[in-house]
């Protein structure tokens, strides 16, 4: 039996591998005709340990008619299980979760509703972005990286569907609605993705990248993701550790947070530029996004200023520029 901490790391890496496969266009959907109720039942069983662990009450409402969809049973089960897990983690012990499936014309509509902590209006537009978690309750995520919803959105889009989040605000519960096209007899069984599938990313083979962030999970997860795209990566938790690491790793790119103890990102960038020994691309990845923050980045000779949660496409474009 795996040590709980080892199991946790394995789960995080598995999630990152899924993200990497999707963003590089390497996911292959093995589609077949499916009874949606079977998929939802399997998802419930997958999530049962998390639901029972929180002593939640789960209600499932499925229509009497058979809703047939054309999709990958493993990926769809994974998507709905992630939504149920999300509801269980962000709902107070003993509260209620509801899973409902209905038909709306040519689509199956599935909702996962909970009466948990809800989502603030500011958070709602970015809830599906990678590494995004509800800010005030990260301890509920049990060490997760905040990519479960990113996976759900990507996999549902690959099935020609959509997923949306709704909430009346903090403390008022949340609802995730998935829309999937009902099976079409003329569908091409060889189709593996729709035009909405994520674009292929350039490989980072040969790149040496240092990730600096006092949030250990954020630093390690981003480093793993970049490594899976071919980069040689190393992490540091503050400015002095980053400078020490650069003595043995001549990184051609440095990705760093701005708000760090001991030495902030602006100071770190100035130290690196003042050394004048090599000229890496320096990219700020930060929660600070005001005009004054951007100005200070320019003054510190930071090449790109990206606001968290980082958009991977924008990050890769910034890395491609190599400081130009």
**How confident is the model at residue 162, as a pLDDT?**
94
Summarised one tens digit per residue, pLDDT across range 53-70 is: 899 999 999 999 999 999
Q: Residue 73 is part of a domain; what is its CATH number? A: 3.30.565.10
Q: Are residues 93 and 161 in the same domain?
A: yes
Q: Residue 244 is part of a domain; what is its CATH number? A: 3.40.50.2300
Q: Which secondary-structure segment (H or E) carries 151?
A: helix 148-158
Q: Are residues 240 and 120 in the same domain?
A: no
Tokens representing 101? 């499936």
Q: Are residues 256 and 110 in the same domain?
A: no
Q: Are residues 169 and 219 in the same domain?
A: no
Q: Are residues 61 and 113 in the same domain?
A: yes
Tokens representing 309? 């949660």
Q: Are residues 29 and 160 in the same domain?
A: yes
* Gap between the Cα atoms of 257 and 215, Å rounded: 9
Q: Is residue 2 part of a domain?
A: no
For residue 51, give its domain range.
8-181
Last residue of a domain, one of 163, 181, 199: 181
Q: Is residue 313 part of a domain?
A: yes
Q: Rg of the chain's alpha carbons, rounded to an integer? A: 22
Q: Are residues 144 and 238 in the same domain?
A: no
Q: Are residues 95 and 227 in the same domain?
A: no
Beta strand pairing call for 68-71 and 32-35? antiparallel
**How confident is the model at residue 18, as a pLDDT?**
64
**How confident is the model at residue 199, as a pLDDT?**
38
Cis preceding linkage at 309, omega within 30 = yes
Q: Is residue 194 part of a domain?
A: no
> Helix, strand, or coil here: 253?
strand
Q: Is residue 190 part of a domain?
A: no
Q: Are residues 54 and 93 in the same domain?
A: yes
Q: Residue ranges of the chain with pLDDT lower than 50?
A: 1-9, 135-145, 185-202, 323-324
- Count up the domains in the chain and report the number: 2
Q: Are residues 166 and 65 in the same domain?
A: yes
The rounded Cα 24 to chain-centroid distance in angstroms is 15
Tokens representing 283? 């990219």
Tokens representing 153? 């959105």
Q: Are residues 216 and 94 in the same domain?
A: no
* Gap between the Cα atoms of 34 and 80, Å rounded: 14
Q: Give me the DSSP letters along 18-78.
A: HHHHHHTT------EEEEHHHHHHHHHHHHHHHHHHTT-EEEEE--SS--EEEE-HHHHHH
All residues at 6 or more sequence positions from 124 whose CB lies less than 8 Å from its CB, including other chains: 165, 166, 167
Q: Are residues 305 and 236 in the same domain?
A: yes
* Gap between the Cα atoms of 166 and 174, Å rounded: 6
Report the predicted TM-score, pTM, of the whole model to 2 decimal places: 0.57
Q: Is residue 200 part of a domain?
A: no
Q: Is residue 145 part of a domain?
A: yes
Q: Is residue 201 part of a domain?
A: no
**How confident is the model at residue 257, as a pLDDT?**
94
Summarised one tens digit per residue, pLDDT across range 176-219 is: 999 999 985 334 434 343 333 333 444 688 899 999 998 877 78
**How confident is the model at residue 5, as a pLDDT?**
43
Q: Is residue 139 part of a domain?
A: yes
């Amino acid at each position: 039996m795996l040590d709980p901490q080892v199991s946790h790391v394995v789960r995080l890496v598995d999630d990152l591998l899924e993200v990497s496969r999707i963003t590089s266009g390497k996911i292959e959907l093995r589609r077949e005709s499916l009874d949606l109720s079977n998929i939802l039942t399997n998802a419930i069983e997958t999530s049962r340990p998390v639901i029972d662990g929180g002593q939640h009450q789960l209600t499932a409402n499925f229509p009497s008619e058979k809703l047939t969809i054309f999709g990958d049973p493993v990926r769809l089960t994974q998507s709905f299980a992630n939504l149920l897990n999300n509801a269980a983690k962000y709902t107070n012990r003993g509260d209620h979760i509801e899973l409902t499936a209905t038909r709306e014309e040519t689509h199956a509509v599935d909702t996962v509703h909970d009466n948990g902590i809800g989502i603030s209006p500011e958070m709602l537009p970015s809830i599906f972005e990678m590494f995004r978690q509800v800010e005030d309750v990260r301890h509920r995520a049990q060490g997760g990286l905040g990519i479960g919803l990113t996976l759900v959105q990507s996999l549902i889009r690959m099935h020609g569907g959509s997923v949306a989040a709704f909430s009346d605000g903090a403390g008022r519960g949340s609802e995730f609605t998935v829309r999937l096209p009902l099976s079409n007899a003329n569908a091409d069984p060889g189709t593996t993705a729709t035009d909405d599938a994520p674009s292929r990313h350039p490989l980072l083979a040969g790149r040496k990248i240092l990730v600096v962030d006092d949030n250990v999970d954020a630093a390690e997860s981003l480093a793993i993701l970049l490594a899976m795209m071919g980069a040689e990566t190393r992490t540091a938790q503050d400015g002095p550790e980053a400078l020490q690491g650069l003595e043995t790793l001549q990184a051609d790119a440095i990705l760093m947070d701005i708000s760090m103890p001991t030495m902030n990102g602006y100071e770190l960038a100035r130290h690196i530029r003042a050394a004048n020994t090599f000229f890496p691309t320096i990219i700020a990845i930060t929660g600070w996004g005001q005009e004054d923050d951007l100005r200070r980045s320019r003054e510190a000779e930071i090449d790109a200023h990206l606001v968290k949660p980082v958009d991977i496409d924008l990050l890769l474009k910034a890395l491609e520029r190599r400081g130009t």
